[in-house]
A and B are shown apart, each in its own frame.
Chain A
Amino acid sequence: MMLQQLLNGMALGMAYALIAVGYTLVFGILRLVNFSHGAVYAFGAHMVVFFIGMNFGLLPAVVFGILLSGLLGVLIDKIALNPLRKKKSPNISALITTIGVSYIIQNLLVLGFGSGRKSFPKLIETRSIMIGDAQITNIQLLMLVVSVVLFLSLTVLVKYTKIGLAMRAVEQHETNAALMGIPTSFIISFTFFLGGLTAAIASVLIGSHYEIVYPTMGMMIGLKAFSAAVLGGIGVFYGSIVGGLLIGLTEALAATWFGAEYRDSVAFIVLILVLILRPMGLFGKKGLNKV
């Protein structure tokens, strides 16, 4: 029973971690909490459903859905956020804008697809795997594997590639990065593209686990993933994984010990406690001042 809860918590936690990494990516570069992330997540799942409805076949539908979500990320930045940056408006305006954008996307999804729940196709035939007397589905395992692969690739990208180096330079000082010959707008767009991609990958995996999608599906999970990112130290990749796992596990355990109705609040209680003790999150770094 305990093992079962741990497994459930882990699978759920990896899902949070997958979404959390999108918050961390954008925050890491722009110091901006992108609250439209949850809506992009919902958008991704709906696009996959849409393309399947258009008889694209499962795999192309998934690929197109994910790519379109990446482009939506870029579009959000270009239309709503870039003009604010150009006017050097305070970060709080950009933050409020992302909340607004999030509702616009959700409403558009309601307009296009209706507000009800739609069934999401199974990516693979569900099978249960027994570990002792606990069971885990192959989709949950897939979630785990994809998350780990995604984290590793993002870490390699940011740490060891030229574009990753450029991303870190833009994070530290945009103007100085431009003076190095870095096309900073492109780097920022690329970051939003990656953010959109990861959101959609998460929603495809989670959608096929629960087998339903709906326009507001990204609200609660987006908030929890954001908590996971903050818990681990926003801006730090592995922080997102640990934060996601912690929130997933506490939720699963809280559901068994106190009953399922308390699961949401327990996640946030953990967040608040950690932040009281470590305001920068578990692995967050205190901002090193510019020299």
Chain B
Amino acid sequence: MILEVKDVYTSYGHIHALRGVDLVINEGEIISLIGANGAGKSTLLGSIAGIHPTRKGDIFYNGEKITKNRPHQLVKKGISMVVEGRGIFPRLSVEENIRIGAYIINNRQVVHNTMDKIYTLFPRLSERKHQQAGTLSGGEQQMLAIGRALMSQPKLLLLDEPSLGLAPKLVKIIFEMIQTINKEGISILLIEQNANLALSISDRTYVLENGEITLSGASKDLRHHEGIKKAYLGEVLDNTSQEVIQSFQASNL
């Protein structure tokens, strides 16, 4: 068990965003988190990463209580987060953005090697390394955000809607990347609007509604769950998305 969220409550002022959330991530798993807008998905990720302090409950990372840790301390422990909307620094160059991801690593050689790895993973970023990050396209920014998050050599990666605003082809690239990253031993907690996609890429899925987990289980079982089908799998998909989903389902059987 790399992460354990235990009965967590988080609120903004009078709004109770999370109301007793329990969630577990085992080492090496991809977990997806689905739910409607405003269900509290981003808040949960933020609470794990230390940017939304919890009001009640505890969070454990590798058995250690991290509830009151500050975000930068959690990065040092191995938790890295990609926020919704990517959160890149638009007025830093692509390379500076990547470099800042390695802020906690003091060994220059390690930084250099990790950077090479990121550039191999995302050749687009290497081509554009001297460009201001704000000038990148949405897909490139998402690659940058993920690549940057890997620079701190995390054990747990939190991804908040990496597919947001991307064309289906790019979504495919990004999701294949997520699988590659996961195969290197990095556990992943993923928020994904597209429930089909979420269920096909992940080992297990949690459904969050009004700040509470209402359903959870193995993703391949949830794909046939009546409630899920009704509430989240209704949407009509274009061909590329369907193709993406089928390829993931095939590889996850």
Contact = CB atoms under 8 A, between A and B. Distances in A.
B103 A176 contact: no
A200 to B, nearest CB: 29
Interface in A157-173: 162, 165-166, 168-169, 172-173
A181 B72 contact: yes
Contact of A172 (B81, B83, B90): B90
Interface in B70-106: 70-72, 75-76, 80-81, 83, 85-92, 96, 99-101, 103-104
A179 B51 contact: yes
Interface string A31-73: 0000000000000000000000000000000000000000000
B141 interface: yes
A290 B100 contact: no
A54 B100 CA distance: 45
B85 to A, nearest CB: 8
Given A179-B51, A181-B152, A168 B92 contact: yes
Contact of B72 (A168, A172, A178): A178
Interface in B103-121: 103-104
Contacts of B172: none
B142 to A, nearest CB: 11
Q: How would you classify the secondary structure of chain A's contact residues: helix, strand, loop or mixed? A: helix
For B72, B83, B86, which residue has the most chain A Cβ atoms within 10 angstroms? B72
A86 to B, nearest CB: 11
A279 interface: no
A70 to B, nearest CB: 23
Contact of A291 (B49, B70, B90, B103): B90
B100 A165 contact: yes
B38 interface: no
B91 A288 contact: yes
A285 to B, nearest CB: 9
Most buried by B among A168, A181, A182: A181
A179 B83 contact: yes
A169 B103 CA distance: 11
B104 A181 contact: yes
A155 to B, nearest CB: 16
Contacts of B72: 178, 180-184
A291 B50 CA distance: 23
B90 A182 contact: no
Given A180-B100, A288-B134, A165 B141 contact: no
A179 B50 CA distance: 9
Interface residues of B, number: 29
Interface in B190-220: none
Given A291-B88, A291-B90, A182 B70 contact: no
A115 interface: no
B148 interface: yes
Contact of B51 (A165, A175, A181, A291): A175
Nearest to B71: A178
B96 A180 contact: no
B103 A168 contact: no
Interface in B20-63: 49-51
A180 B101 contact: yes
Contact of B90 (A177, A178, A290): A290
Contacts of B148: 180
B86 to A, nearest CB: 8
Contacts of B70: 178, 183
B206 to A, nearest CB: 22
Contacts of B152: 180-181
A165 B99 contact: yes
A166 B75 CA distance: 15
Contact of B92 (A162, A165, A175, A179): A165
A176 B152 CA distance: 14
Contacts of A173: 87, 89
Nearest to B97: A169
A41 to B, nearest CB: 30
A169 B51 contact: no
A176 B83 contact: yes
B51 A180 contact: no
Interface of A: 162, 165-166, 168-169, 172-173, 175-184, 288, 290-291
13 contacts: A168-B89, A168-B92, A169-B100, A173-B87, A177-B100, A179-B80, A180-B75, A180-B103, A181-B152, A183-B70, A184-B72, A291-B88, A291-B90
Given A179-B51, A182-B103, A183-B72, 4 more contacts: A168-B89, A180-B72, A181-B103, A291-B134
Interface of B: 49-51, 70-72, 75-76, 80-81, 83, 85-92, 96, 99-101, 103-104, 134, 141, 148, 152
Please name the 5 residue pairs, one residue from A and one from B, whose CB atoms are nearest each other, closest first: A181-B75, A181-B104, A178-B71, A176-B87, A172-B89
